[in-house]
Amino acid sequence: MDKEKKIKPQLAGGFRDYGPEEAAVRGRMFDSIKRIFELFGFIPIETPGVEREEVLTGGDADFSKQIFRIAERNENDPLALRYDLTVPLARFVAQNQSKLPWPFKRYQIGGVWRAEQPQAGRYREFIQCDADIVGSSRVSADAEIIALAHETFSALGISKFLIRVNTRKILNGVAELAKFPPGKIPDVLRAIDKLDKRGWDAVERELEKLGGDVKLVKKVLDIRENNQKKALVSVRALLEDSWAATQGIDDLEKIADLLESLGVPAKSWKVDFSVARGFGYYTGMVFEIVLEDVPLIGSVGGGGRYDGLVNRFSSINAPAVGFSVGIDRLYKACEELGIIKSKQLSEALVLNFEPECETYCAEIVAGLRSAGVCAQLYLGNEESLKGQLSYAVKNNFNIVIIAGSDEKKRGAMQVRNLAERSQFEVSKDEAVRRISKTSLLKMSKFMK
């Protein structure tokens, strides 16, 4: 009889697994992000991973995102996996506006899917952490979102990041003054958005095909002042004849003042007129967050103002601004930088090498857990003390509890600190206090 054929245990392209230590680090990242979002007054929502395809595409026959469509029988109302969390938010707000606080400050952490060609740090399934303010047209809401982005990356322990800020109003003004055909303006923005990846020569050739004044575009993109106010003065001189551009410059001047008041350091952000952001729904301020030491990864977060998106689903006036952190790309970048710190999942291992002491050891584990010490009872097949100690060392436990028949008689235990190579005896009643004080693993940091 033929042996049963085994299926090759191989991932689909563009997807990845995260092992226990990696998943633990990511969990800490999510906890930190959630804490900062809630510190700024954002409240959570959850939306399904599956949406009606018409919701995701906006009914646009030329929709360019490569979405995962779901094979199902109702061809009159096809379904697809969401490709971001912003469009589902717009649908949610349109459905529930009368029940929501206004303005509505929401956050969501969830998976999204894109049927795109995988690249370095770019997967077909990834987790986004979004925060948005819906219902405010104030420039202070834009500044609040940038300040939130700064605080989020700071809380993650990432020291070298830069928030590059622009506004679509300035880019629209450039396209207008450069006399590109109105119907070609989205193509102009897409070309500018490729500057970092393809360089000026490639962008120039693409713009020349669109039929506008490419020299004016280059003059604007060449403004790269370290001083934000000087950069805005320079661009105002070039674009003063465009109402849209001057409105955008006024917005960025207000944002600069507000960011200073909100405590965002000048070194953490800069005006960059090449930032366009790819999504067609942006209408005002846009920004990207980059880690300058890993430029090939691209942006690890970003966002902007999108005042018309909710209007796809409702006639309510719902201006909005928000930002998103892509955890998978950020994690990949941190791996390349070598700043990920592995996270041991348990602090203490209680050895279990004498059957008559098993219930005593279980009581010790329960006492440690009730006091908030992450502890495990050894459950493997090794029966000897030596074998169980080897397991503890191999799996990076910091604290080992040894409680055999002698310790049980005295109501005590031996506590071995593997990191410090020390050992002491303690009574069962004193164990929690001493172990909590000795434990090395009560740490929230996951970056070196």
The predicted model gives 404-417 an average pLDDT of: 92
- Is residue 164 within 8 A of residue 178, CB to CB? The reply is no
- Is residue 254 within 8 A of residue 139, CB to CB? The reply is yes
Please report, for the domain that includes residue 371, its CATH number. Answer: 3.40.50.800
Let me know if residue 15 belongs to a domain. no
For residue range 301-314, what is the model confidence (pLDDT) as tens digits? 999 999 988 988 98
- Is residue 249 within 8 A of residue 231, CB to CB? The reply is no
Q: Are residues 409 and 275 in the same domain?
A: no
Residue ending a domain, among 310, 337, 364, is: 337
The predicted model gives 441-448 an average pLDDT of: 49
Between CA 299 and CA 41 the distance in angstroms is 25
Q: Are residues 197 and 249 in the same domain?
A: yes
Q: Are residues 359 and 283 in the same domain?
A: no
Q: Are residues 393 and 322 in the same domain?
A: no
For residue range 156-178, what is the model confidence (pLDDT) as tens digits? 888 789 999 999 999 999 999 99
Q: Are residues 208 and 294 in the same domain?
A: yes
Q: Are residues 24 and 135 in the same domain?
A: yes
- At residue 245, the pLDDT reads 92
Higher-scoring residue by pLDDT: 338, 18: 18
Q: Are residues 257 and 355 in the same domain?
A: no
Residue ending a domain, among 337, 361, 377, is: 337
Let me know if residue 447 belongs to a domain. no
- At residue 441, the pLDDT reads 44
CA distances from 83 to 156, 215, 227, 325 (A): 25, 36, 37, 14
Let me know if residue 448 belongs to a domain. no
Domain that holds residue 315: 20-337
Q: Are residues 73 and 148 in the same domain?
A: yes
ω into 103 cis (within 30 of 0): yes
Q: Model confidence at 443, in pLDDT bands (50, 70, 90)?
A: very low
DSSP 104-158: EEEEEEEEEE-----BTTB-SEEEEEEEEEES---HHHHHHHHHHHHHHHHHTT-
Q: Are residues 104 and 170 in the same domain?
A: yes
Q: Model confidence at 361, in pLDDT bands (50, 70, 90)?
A: very high
Domain count, the chain: 2
For residue range 180-223, what is the model confidence (pLDDT) as tens digits? 988 888 888 888 888 877 888 888 898 888 888 889 989 998 88
DSSP-based three-state secondary structure for 416: strand
Let me know if residue 77 belongs to a domain. yes
Q: Are residues 252 and 333 in the same domain?
A: yes
- Is residue 264 within 8 A of residue 146, CB to CB? The reply is yes
DSSP E strands, 200-306: 269-271, 285-290, 299-305
Let me know if residue 165 belongs to a domain. yes
Torsion on CA atoms 88, 89, 91, 97, rounded to nearest 10: 160
Let me know if residue 86 belongs to a domain. yes
Please report, for the domain that includes residue 154, its CATH number. Answer: 3.30.930.10
Q: Are residues 311 and 412 in the same domain?
A: no
Instruction: Name which of 249, 257, 242, 332 is nearest 285 in CA terms.
Output: 249
- At residue 447, the pLDDT reads 58
Higher-scoring residue by pLDDT: 390, 57: 390
Q: Are residues 357 and 318 in the same domain?
A: no
Residue ending a domain, among 337, 360, 391, is: 337
Most confident listed range (33-47, 276-290, 333-347): 33-47
